A and B are shown apart, each in its own frame.
Chain A
Amino acid sequence: MDNVKNFTKGLIKENPVFALLLGMCPTLGVTTSAENGLGMGLATTFVLVMANIVISAVKNGIPDKVRIPAFIIIIASFVTVVELTMQAYLPSLFASLGLFIPLIVVNCIVLGRAEAFASKNNVISSAIDGLGMGLGFSLALTLLGAVREFLGSGKVFGLQIYDTNYGMLVFVLAPGAFLVLGYLILVINRFKKA
């Protein structure tokens, strides 16, 4: 089935973070903890699915030359919806993700899927593609966040595993993001080949 493939390709084979290396800004920026990574991933998933649905639905009514601006407006609207909703109902998550929520607008995964997939396929496969890509992104961010949180502060999802003072601070800071991402890609590529 094509739709099954559309869904699963985003998880591993074409994972936006580990395989396509798209959306590095939020990936490196917010994954200081597993919870932040998951929150950011789910917010992006929502935007991806909704934007893909709407874009594939209106694609025939949009002239080619104004395609990109029209897509960006649609994406930005959904991002603002997420931002306002999160601010209202999940204020603490909103506080820790901060600037990265509005930045979903310029996340290349979202525009990339809109341009590469949603503008060429029907509504249902676009929605499934968005969901797969979004969940792949969430998975990657959560994994990255969990590893960094564990090595950096001895916690996973806020649950203390070992004493915080033994944690290596570098993993919570920016260089740790690059290190962990690099090694995770290494591990995943190794398994893909096998």
Chain B
Amino acid sequence: MESTFKNMVLALLIVTLVSSAILGFVYELTKQPIVDAQLKKKLEAINKVVPPYNNNPNDEMYTIEVEGGEAVEAYPAKMDNKLVGTAIKTYTNKGFSGFIQVMVGFVPNGTVYNYQVLDHKETPGLGSKMNDWFRPQEVVAETADVKFSIFDWLFGIKPGGDGDTKSIVNKTPGNKGFLVAKDGGEIDAITAATISSRAFLDAINRGYTALQKSSQVAIKQDSTLVSTQLQGGE
């Protein structure tokens, strides 16, 4: 077809108009399902990382500010109005390929209940093992990505045994936070993926620090409430 200024403008105008109309329609159609799918993924992660609960953690979500002006999201899980655990959606930028997002659950005394890696770009087969590595062996056995084999023995990779030195589950980061063995900590890093392991623990520690901070604030608020009530009584 011969190209003139008029028909070129007209053709492109029509093509773009029709395209945008179709895209707008599809966007409206998929908007709700996309939100639902993301929410479902989040709730599945929360279910996994905290003890059984019967409230709706997503509705009671609050954010805690951490260093650097960023904020992490906390989802309190309650059974009959009693706090049984808090799921923290935490992150780190120190991964081998940058950003890692982890959902980690703490029971009220500060020990890790479980965790779930939400998003990462670590090397497949190395850093990507973090979703199983830091759990105790019996938990891992079901998902079976890291099993002990002759290969491990040959290359001097620790079997993990009951998973004591690899697992972060049922441990509390404490004041120092979780550190890999190389940095003087107690957690064994993923073989050949120390940077990913450090980053992962950094994310967990960030979540823990945030939780500590928020619970201190909560305690303070409680005590001021008590003292004002006392003053009121006098």
B-contacting residues of A (Cβ < 8 Å)? 32, 58, 60-66, 69-70, 73-74, 76-77, 80-81, 84-85, 87-89, 91, 95, 152-153, 160, 163-167, 169, 172-173
- Are A60 and B1 in touch, CB under 8 angstroms? yes
Query: Provided the pairs A73-B15, A74-B19 are in contact, do residues A63 and B4 lie with their beta carbons within 8 angstroms?
Result: yes
B1-24 Cβ-contact flags toward A at 8 Å (1 or 0): 111100110011001100100110
Binds A, one of B121-129, B169-177, B223-231: B121-129
Provide the bound-state CA to CA distance between A84 and B26, in Å.
8
Contact partners of A32 in chain B: CB under 8 A: 124
Q: Is the interface of B mostly helix, strand, loop or mixed?
A: helix
CB distance from A82 to the nearest CB of B (A): 10
Question: Which of the listed residues B12, B33, B125 has the most CB atoms from chain A within 10 Å of its own CB?
Answer: B125
Provide the bound-state CA to CA distance between A167 and B151, in Å.
10
CB of B81 closer than 8 Å to a CB of A: no
For the complex, count residues of B whose C-beta is within 8 A of A: 33
- Are B30 and A64 in touch, CB under 8 angstroms? no
Q: Which of B11, B26, B33, B41 contacts A62 (CB 8 A)?
A: B11
- Are B125 and A65 in touch, CB under 8 angstroms? no
CB distance from B204 to the nearest CB of A (A): 21
Question: Which of the listed residues A58, A65, A76, A167 has the most CB atoms from chain B within 10 Å of its own CB?
Answer: A65
Provide the bound-state CA to CA distance between A89 and B107, in Å.
33
Count of inter-chain pairs, beta carbons less than 8 A: 87
Q: Which of A63, A163, A166, A167 contacts B7 (CB 8 A)?
A: A63
Query: Provided the pairs A66-B3, A166-B149, A166-B151 are in contact, do residues A73 and B19 lie with their beta carbons within 8 angstroms?
Result: yes
Task: With CB as the reference atom, state the residue of chain A lying closest to B6.
Answer: A63
Query: Provided the pairs A66-B11, A81-B22 are in contact, do residues A165 and B151 lie with their beta carbons within 8 angstroms?
Result: yes
- Are A88 and B147 in touch, CB under 8 angstroms? no
Q: List 20 A-B contacts (CB under 8 A).
A: A63-B1, A66-B11, A70-B11, A73-B19, A77-B23, A80-B23, A84-B26, A84-B34, A85-B26, A87-B34, A87-B37, A89-B33, A91-B38, A91-B41, A152-B124, A165-B149, A165-B151, A166-B149, A172-B124, A173-B125
- Are A165 and B152 in touch, CB under 8 angstroms? yes
CB of B145 closer than 8 Å to a CB of A: yes
CB of B27 closer than 8 Å to a CB of A: yes
- Are B16 and A63 in touch, CB under 8 angstroms? no
CB distance from B24 to the nearest CB of A (A): 11
Query: Provided the pairs A66-B3, A163-B149, A166-B151 are in contact, do residues A61 and B11 lie with their beta carbons within 8 angstroms?
Result: yes
CB distance from A87 to the nearest CB of B (A): 5
Provide the bound-state CA to CA distance between A84 and B34, in Å.
8
CB distance from B117 to the nearest CB of A (A): 12
Query: Provided the pairs A80-B23, A165-B149 are in contact, do residues A87 and B125 lie with their beta carbons within 8 angstroms?
Result: no
Contact partners of B41 in chain A: CB under 8 A: 91
Task: With CB as the reference atom, state the residue of chain B lying closest to A60.
Answer: B1
Q: Which of B12, B124, B145 contacts A66 (CB 8 A)?
A: B12
Query: Provided the pairs A61-B11, A77-B19, A80-B26 are in contact, do residues A169 and B125 lie with their beta carbons within 8 angstroms?
Result: yes
- Are A85 and B149 in touch, CB under 8 angstroms? no
Q: Which of A69, A77, A88, A95 contacts B12 (CB 8 A)?
A: A69
Provide the bound-state CA to CA distance between A84 and B27, in Å.
7
Task: With CB as the reference atom, state the residue of chain B lying closest to A62.
Answer: B11
Provide the bound-state CA to CA distance between A123 and B146, in Å.
52
- Are A77 and B27 in touch, CB under 8 angstroms? no
Contact partners of A164 in chain B: CB under 8 A: 144-147
Provide the bound-state CA to CA distance between A61 and B41, in Å.
46
CB distance from A59 to the nearest CB of B (A): 9
Contact partners of A66 in chain B: CB under 8 A: 3, 8, 11-12
Query: Provided the pairs A70-B15, A153-B125 are in contact, do residues A64 and B3 lie with their beta carbons within 8 angstroms?
Result: yes
